[in-house]
Every structure is written in structure tokens, then in C-alpha cells.
Amino acid sequence: MVDSKVYREWRNPPAEQTPERQLEEVTQRFINNLGRVADFFGFNALMGRLYGVLFLSPKPLSLEEMVEKLDSSKGNVSINIRNLERWGLVRQVYKWGKDRRDYYEAETDIWKAIGRILQERERKESQQMIESLNQSVSMLEKFSQQTEGDQAQMADFYLQRMETLRRLFQFGDQLLDSMVQGGEIDFGTASRLVDLDVDSSPDDILN
């Protein structure tokens, strides 16, 4: 996803703007938009649309009903609804009685769900990167001391660059943490922290 994706635009049904159709149109647009958003955030479109359908339903829906509304296949809805559930975006609702279908409803406390995603997906990513950078940095430091000449100089250069990125990712991680914990962030100082830009591009290092 580098160029913005182009999503198909539904052509309006030519006639018959009954009230039902109007409502239908608004909800469909909303649902498709959520599909786009989900895709944008690295989930897939059906997940978003599925969430949309539940979000706009006053009562929990069965798998069958969702399949119908989204015109998708049972299997596809099945796996995607479980993914939504896994991220806490949707929850299963139990009904007793003879009906043994599974019903789902949308988690309306969206902030909570986002928090979980930030914590378990985005933060995992940032921490992994930080971890790796830490390793590299300490390795390079050792290396730089044990070596001399061009090699050491290269190591120092790498060190400096990686340090920049480490700060960036550490800030990102902090930001995510604040979002989850409900803290505060000042992006003014943040940008100053991240961008050192000593710009050292030393012409004396050959490559």
C-alpha cells in the first residue's frame, strides 16, 4: 500500500429513493468505510466491514446474518469474526433457549479495544525493534573499542545512526504507552529529542 488505494464507488440506484433505501445507503457507506480503515491499519477489509455491521446493529447477530449482510462466505466470516474477537473488538453473546447459534455484538468501548491493539500489536513491534537496536548498539560499542582504523570508524558511524533510530522508537514506545495508560505527551520536546541530526556524514569514511 504505497499509492492510496482506489475503492470502488457504488453507483446510486437510479430511481426509487425510498426511506429504506436511504438508510441502507448510509449504512453501506459507513460499513465500506470501516473496511477501508481496517485495511489501512493492517487488518483486512472484511474485518472492518464486519465490525461495521455489528456496530450498526441494535441487536447481536448470528454468523448467518452477517454472511447475508456482507454477501460473503461462511468460512470467511467465521475466521474474521474470530480475529475481531481476539482483538476485543467484538464479543460473543450467549443466548439460552433452543437456539444454539453464536451471536456477536460490537464492543462499543472502542478506546478499550484500541488500547489492546496498541499494547499487543503496535507496542510489540516497537519493543522488538528497540530490543534489536540495543543488541546492535552494545555489540558495536564493544567492537569499536576492540578495533582500530577504518573498521572502528565505521562502527562509530553505525552507532551514531542507530542511536538516532533507537531514540525514535523509544519515543514511539512511550507514546503508545501513554495512549494505553492515559498519560500526556508533548510533541514539542519529543521532536527535539528524536531529531538530533548532528549530521555527521563524514566524508573521510570510505565505503
Binding residues vs DNA (CB under 7 A): 1-2, 5, 39, 44-46, 62-64, 71-76, 78-82, 98-102
Task: Output 92 or 132, the one with its CB closest to its own copies.
Answer: 132
Report yes or no: 92 and 145 within 8 Å, Cβ to Cβ. Answer: no
Instruction: Calculate the CA dihedral of residues 74, 81, 126, 133 and round it to 10 degrees.
Output: -40
Q: Which of 154, 163, 173, 174 binds its own copies (CB under 8 A)?
A: 154
State the binding partner of 100 from DNA, its own copies, none, CB within 5 to 8 A by kind.
Answer: DNA
Task: Output 63 or 152, the one with its CB closest to DNA.
Answer: 63
Rounded Cα distance between 88 and 205, Å, is 51
Shortest gap between Cβ of 73 and DNA (angstroms)? 3
Shortest gap between Cβ of 5 and DNA (angstroms)? 6
State the binding partner of 184 from DNA, its own copies, none, CB within 5 to 8 A by kind.
Answer: its own copies
| Cross-strand pairs, 90 | 106
Helix or strand or coil: residue 149? coil
Residue ranges in 31-70 that form contacts with its own copies under rule CB under 8 A: 33, 37, 40, 42-44, 47, 55-59
Q: Is 157 in the site for its own copies (CB under 8 A)?
A: yes
Quote the Cα angle for 107-60-28, to 5°.
80
Rounded Cα distance between 199 and 207, Å, is 17
Q: Is 145 in the site for its own copies (CB under 8 A)?
A: no
Rounded Cα distance between 111 and 116, Å, is 9
Task: Output 106 or 140, the one with its CB closest to DNA.
Answer: 106
Rounded Cα distance between 137 and 148, Å, is 17
Shortest gap between Cβ of 23 and DNA (angstroms)? 24
Q: Is 13 in the site for its own copies (CB under 8 A)?
A: no
Helix or strand or coil: residue 93? strand
Q: Which of 82, 83, 63 is nearest to 73 (CA)?
A: 63
Task: Output 37 or 67, the one with its CB closest to its own copies.
Answer: 37
Q: Which of 105, 119, 127, 174 binds its own copies (CB under 8 A)?
A: 105
State the binding partner of 18 from its own copies, DNA, none, CB within 5 to 8 A by kind.
Answer: none
Rounded Cα distance between 58 and 88, Å, is 19
